[in-house]
Structure 1
Amino acid sequence: MALSITTLLLFSLFLAIFLLVTVPLTGALVRLRANYNPKGLQLDPEDGVQPHTGPVITSFFVMLSRVRQLEGWSGLMKGMMPTLLSNAILSLFSAIFLDASLSSPSNQGVYNSPTSRMWGTLLYSIFLMFVSLPAIIITYRSITTPYRLPYIGPFHSLRVLLTPTELRKPWILYLTPGLLATELLHISYVVIALRALRHMLLPSLSQADDSPLQDLSPRSLIVYLAISLFSTAILCPLEVISTRLAVQRNHESAESNSVVQEEVGDADDLPEYSPAEDVIGMRNDKDPYLGLVDCAKRIIDEEGWGTLYRGWWLTMMFGVFGAFA
């Protein structure tokens, strides 16, 4: 596909609007789901007990307001650079190698592919997930870090966001306990279960071309939308778990010394957004989640079932919009 100037301009305009709208909303949602808020007392390093003193926030809009209050407008735009770079690279890759349209919003995103076939979409989504997984980790960590990262200076930022082990062995990001499995489950459910169901109930919506809808049964549409709504019960916990695992740092490998926790000193010269008060509380890396199941169990035991459904209405809203994507 030839990349004309008009196509590039439309792509740039769409990407700019996309970033201005989604970066603050995504930042608030990531912070809300990453915020560690245990119900009881926690062990300190000397095996004593101490109460958790982090903020208790369970509402998306309260979190959005808190970020604006403590970190200002610049805090709302945290994560913009990795989001910009990852979306631009993935979109250009899809346009050059997969003949996707840069100027079409319908071709943006992991679950939207140039082919409408279920298995083609699944393979496409899994491939893009592998490509974008490090970008997801870096983006989520840049959102939750208290430090003001430079917009220009990616290597300095990476030394703050990644541990020495992750910098020496970048592939270890793919081995982040449970993260890859969580993303694969999420993609498989959306593509295999929901898309296959849409193809059976609403074949008109699965057409690859832009031909007018025919034989769209209101009953089938209601059934599919109802199933999409109930799918929130499965998808939202996976998204919360994915967020928790992505912001969890990988330290020394088990074969070296799993007790040693690396200290990163590259943040010493960076100012903080809110030195007096943290926007969110983070779980201690010295007691990490060990995988998908362990993360889910600990969240339920330490913080309650409701934590797995933070931002559930956003998951439900995206699920409904996805029915017509």
Structure 2
Amino acid sequence: MSVSILPYRPSGSSFWVAAPPLQPGRFALQVVATSASGVVFLALVTPLVGALVRLRANYAPRRVQLPTDASATEEGEPGPVARGRTSYFGMLKRVHRIEGWAGMYKGIMPSIIESVLSIVLVAPILSLAITLIDRISTYPLNFHLGPTFAPFLVLIAVCLFVPLDIIKTRVITTPYKLPAFEPAVALRTILSPSERARPARLYALPGVIAATLLENVVPLVMYPIWLVILQLLDIHHAGAGAGGRSVLIILRYTACYFVGFWLLAFTATALTVLNVLKIRLSLQRFPAPAPASDSEVDTEEGVDVALYSATEDVLEVRTESDHAQYTSLKDAYRSVLAEEGARALLRGWWITALSVAPMFVLPLIPPLNF
């Protein structure tokens, strides 16, 4: 990008210098192109993300199935309803069948708000903060601290979006038809009275901040480890002199792929478990409501919002009236493991693995020399 809004220092003694002249036509074209690509991206990704959130939010406790149970077969195996709620593509079809295309795009408004805030507010502030830290540290210390502090500043920015992420999760999982352009009605439906009175309480939901931080720390830790391993094995230059056929080179490649596979498996597993727990914790209201269903909450508060379906829900949500509320990230992990089993913590693991695979595959590609 040729337009710079931040101060920079070329080779010279001047601390602040003027930025390059702004080109309005080119800048407008870049804004339009970025906006268009963002719209296309959200149009393609929102239904897929929504199905994944519902899949991981669905509460499916382990219980003895009776012969008359509609969710079980004669052999006691999960029936069509249970399978539709515990498989990704089954959940995708279920959402489309019950809620239609409107339900497929639930959560797109919070996603748009999050994207706009990231581009307009967060990214410039982060860039300015990193630049200032780098400039201030360069002169007295002769060391660039901007890149060192960048990950910590990014983590702080991610934590600032926790309330919006909680709202997005609740919008996706609610069975109600929330109006897209009436935020007051939507927030009244998905937030408790105490949360509406003090929105900052969303930061105090047990375990959500911890899960969010760990979900972002894991890639920040695993990627440098992978780069160090590749540097130690030096596979890009190992076969330069021997034609790539020596036993040592084969062992290096084998070790590289073996370690990379297990690092990928560990990263995908950790991120999947953390995301499942974060979604479950985000659905808890603060404080825990006493009524047995969301409809009772809405009736008491006078919210008139229609249901997508009065006879069938897309997913089952764990309610505080039947179960104790999660008190921490660790408690949520133990509760899900005890009530639903390990498979509930690994729902959609292959989607997470595909999303983090480029982090491990791209460094293996040798650089192109032109």
1:59 corresponds to: 87
> Which SS does the other structure have where 1:148 is aligned?
coil
Larger radius of gyration: 2
Aligned to 2:334: 297
CA displacement at 1:92 relative to structure 2: 1.9
User: Aligned with 2:297: secondary structure?
Assistant: coil
TM-score (norm 2): 0.70
Q: What is the distance in 1 between the residues matched to 2:111 and 2:145?
A: 26
Give per-residue Cα distances to partners, 1:67-121, cap 9 Å, x unaligned: 0011101110000100111111112224433449xxxxxxxxxxxxxx9987434
Deviation at 1:230, TM superposition (A): 2.9
Local SS of the residue matching 1:143: helix
Q: 1:95 to 1:121 in 2, by over 3 A?
A: closer
| Aligned residues of 1:177 and 1:290 also touching (Cα < 8 A) | yes
CA distance in 1, matches of 2:229, 2:146: 15
Relative to structure 1, the CA distance from residue 216 to residue 80 in structure 2 (aligned partners, 3 Å threshold; closer, same or farther) is farther
| 268, 277, 280: which one aligns with 1:232 | 268
The equivalent position to 2:32 in structure 1, one of 9, 13, 29, is 9
Does the 8 Å contact 2:291/2:297 carry over to 1? no
Q: 2:211 aligns with which of 163, 182, 200?
A: 182
Name 1:149's counterpart in structure 2: 178
Match of 2:279 in 1: 243
Please give the alpha-carbon distance, in whole angstroms, between the structure 2 residues aligned to 1:119 and 1:186. 20
CA displacement, residues 276-320 of structure 1 (integer Å, 9 cap, x when unaligned): 101000111232111111111111111111100000001111110
> Judging changes above 3 Å, is the alpha-carbon distance between structure 1 residues 259 and 8 closer, same or farther for their aligned structure 2 residues?
same
Post-superposition Cα deviations, 1:216-270, rounded to whole Å, max 9, x if no partner, equal 9983863335412332222211111011001111126xxxxx9799934457421
User: In the alignment, which residue of structure 2 is the partner of 1:73?
Assistant: 101
Residue identity matched to 2:60: N
Which residue of 194, 202, 212 maps to 2:222? 194
Say what the alpha-carbon RMSD is for the aligned residues: 3.2
The answer as to whether partners of 2:60 and 2:316 remain within 8 angstroms in 1 is yes
Are 1:225 and 1:320, in contact at CA under 8 Å, matched by a contact in 2? no
| 1:271 paired residue among 301, 306, 311 | 306
Whole-angstrom CA distance in 1 between matches of 2:311 and 2:115: 34
Q: 1:37, 1:281 within 8 Å by CA — same for their partners in 2?
A: yes
- Structure 2 unaligned blocks of 5 or more: 6-23, 73-80, 129-143, 240-251, 364-370
Cα contact 2:272–2:352 (8 A) shared by 1: yes
In the superposition, relative to structure 1, how do residues 149 and 201 fare at CA in structure 2: closer, same or farther (>3 Å)? same
Task: Give the aligned partner of residue 126 of structure 1.
Answer: 155
Normalization by structure 1: what TM-score?
A: 0.79
CA contact (8 A) 1:202 1:216 kept: no
Question: 1:58, CA displacement in angstroms?
Answer: 1.4
**Pair 1:282-2:317 in alignment:** yes
CA distance in 1, matches of 2:104, 2:238: 41
| Contact 1:37/1:52, CA 8 A, preserved across alignment | no
Distance in 2 separating the partners of 1:83 and 1:272: 22
Kept in 2, the 8 Å contact 1:182–1:238? The answer is: yes
AA of the residue aligned to 1:147:
Y
Q: 2:56 aligns with which of 2, 16, 33?
A: 33
SS at match of 1:36: coil
- Identical residues among aligned pairs (%): 31
CA deviation after TM superposition for structure 1 residue 162, in Å: 0.7
**Structure 1 contact 31–144 (Cα < 8 Å) conserved:** yes
- 1:63 to 1:216, Cα distance in 2 relative to 1, 3 A: farther
> Conserved in 2, the CA contact under 8 Å of 1:229 and 1:316?
yes
Deviations 1:135-194 (A, max 9, x none): 110000000011111111112211111100111121111111111111112222221x21
CA gap of 1:306–1:52, structure 2 versus 1, over 3 A, is farther
Number of positions where the alignment pairs a residue of Structure 1 with one of Structure 2: 288
Change (3 A) 1:281 1:260: closer
Asked whether the 8 Å contact 1:229–1:319 carries over to 2, the reply is: no
Counterpart of 2:156, as a letter, is F
Name the structure 2 match of 1:255: none
